[in-house]
Structures are given as C-alpha cells and as structure tokens.
Structure 1
C-alpha cells in the first residue's frame, strides 16, 4: 500500500485535480461529462462543495497528486441534507496501490463526523472495478437505470449504491 498524505483540497490543487480527472472524461464512460473541465472550473467546484462537504486530495511520497475524493449533495431538497453522493478518482498511473481505499476511508470518516447518514455512489454499470470497490465497502445496490447515459456513441446503464448508517 502506498504511503499517502491526504488533506483537504484547496483551490491551489485545482490544476492537479483537473489533470487526474481529465482522462476519466476524455477516455471513459466513468464520467458522463463530454468535455473535461479546466482548472478554473475545478476551482469553482472546490469552492462550491468544500464549504459543506469534504473535498480531499492525496499525495504520494514524492508529493505528486495521485487521487482525490469528494462529496456533493444528493439533492438540493432540504430533506436530503443527511445524504450525499461520493466520488473517488485515482490517477491513471497510480491505480491498484490502495489509494482509492485510503481516500475513501478519510472521506467516509469526515462525512460521518458531519452527521451524514446515507452515502450514495452512482456508478456506470460497466465500471466493474468501482462496483466491486463500493460493494467491498458495504454499499448495497438499490437502483438500476438502463441506458440512462449516452457517451461515445453508445448507451450506458447506471447503478445506484448506498451505504446507510441508520438502524434497519
């Protein structure tokens, strides 16, 4: 497992985050964005979400940014406040080194401290690695939307997963 420094992301990290995220947009259907946001847009996203939700970044021993994770509102309606959507991205050249798990552990801890009770992951159905990751972290599949996203000239299914900290 790679030894990481994980800290709260700031707007100064926007370019590094953009660099990690760009291949997910341009080369995969993991992100449903068509065009990769630039550093200015990433700055805006960090500013927008980090006021209420964790937005974290990981650096390896050489101080290279190797991943980031964040949470966003599940919905803008007030009743959804205890719930959020989680996202994790690891640099393409840094996968399979335990970075995603370390980021997730910090993210989940921070969200539970904030009082978040339902964590939602929305995953492209063909993204087996992410599905396995979230299932390993006790997420349960609660929804399946067939052919809901269109990217790279084909339709993609989406799976909703949830981890709840509420009593059954």
Structure 2
C-alpha cells in the first residue's frame, strides 16, 4: 500500500468552542465584552457605557427571550456572545431579528465567531424567526466576511448613517432568510 501523496491536513490544536444558552452567571463577562465594544469600537454606536442597571436589563431581556448564546472554552470560560433582538418594536417586524456578535480579543480569528453565528442562526430559526439582519459598520470587513460565510447577503448600504468618535460611519445591511 502506497502513502497518500496529498499533504496531511494540519490538526487543529484548539478544541472547538462549546455553544450554549447564556446563563445569569455569564452576565459579568458578557457585559464586560459589550462595555469594551462600546468604549473602543465602531461596532456599537453607543457613545457611553450604559449604567449597570440598564446593561443588566438588556442582558436579562435576552435571558427572558432565550435569545442569547455564549461560546465557552475548555475551562468553561466565556469567549464571546451572540444574540438576536427584534429589528424594530413594531408587530410587523416580529419575525425579523437583528443579530449581534462580540468576542474577547483572544477568541477572535479562532473560529469562535463562526461557531457562535452558525448556532445563532439555527437558534433563531427554532424560535420562529423568518429573517436575521446584521447592521455592520462598513469598515468592519471581518464581521461582513463572517456574516457572508454564514449565508448572509448584503442588501444595502447607507453612507454616514452613524456618528461616533467624532466621525461619521457608513452602515452595511446584511440579511439571511431562514
């Protein structure tokens, strides 16, 4: 029997993340990830980190809806979260959700985002969603590519749709019909 002439695939040294529903005890890490994104990124167009009561209410609303997943590592440490929220608070939008996905910096580029978003798509479908929409700052190529790899398609662009850090930001809208 001859050896296979194809190069051996590199074995992944990192275990895939465990994806699960968010739990109340995940709040400190999830809110820390969100707060850092508000402070330092163009991903969330919020100027200031909300008061802890508001942040906790946001988290608890996702727990109540069952609309947040977390990725955890081998020691069950939270690496990131993904959630979906109503696109708008009008009845006609009840089957369309807006997704959000944020990771700790150390978890980026390791497949955690793709695992989370893939699981969120399935989870949203199970919750009766018909469509997921991603609203992404146009310069966030990584997030746009992640969404495209998970089946989302660009459906629109709005120049200068948001303002943060003393500048205007363009918005890309991506959608996945479930």
TM-score for the superposition, normalised by structure 1: 0.90
On the 8 A contact 1:2/1:99 being kept in 2, the answer is no
Cα distance in structure 2, aligned partners of 1:66 and 1:41: 23
Larger radius of gyration: 2
The answer to whether the aligner puts 1:79 opposite 2:89 as a matched pair is no
Report deviation, 1:21: 2.0
Cα distance in structure 2, aligned partners of 1:6 and 1:39: 26
Aligned residue number for residue 57 of structure 2: 44
The answer to whether the aligner puts 1:57 opposite 2:70 as a matched pair is yes
Report deviation, 1:9: 1.2
Aligned residue number for residue 108 of structure 2: 95
Identify if the C-alpha distance between structure 1 residues 96 and 22 changes in structure 2 by more than 3 Å, giving closer, same or farther. Answer: same
Aligned residue number for residue 141 of structure 1: 154
Cα distance in structure 2, aligned partners of 1:88 and 1:25: 13
Report deviation, 1:157: 0.5
The answer to whether the aligner puts 1:110 opposite 2:123 as a matched pair is yes
Cα distance in structure 2, aligned partners of 1:99 and 1:36: 25
Cα distance in structure 2, aligned partners of 1:2 and 1:42: 31
Which of the residues 13, 17, 42 maps onto 1:4?
17
Any stretches of 5+ residues in structure 2 without a counterpart? 1-13
RMSD of the alignment, in Å? 1.6
Q: Partner of 2:161: helix, strand, or coil? A: strand
On the 8 A contact 1:2/1:97 being kept in 2, the answer is no
Report deviation, 1:89: 0.6
Aligned length: 165
Which whole-Å deviations, capped at 9, do the CAs of 1:58-106 have from their partners, x for residues lacking one?
A: 1111222110010000111111111110111110121111101111121
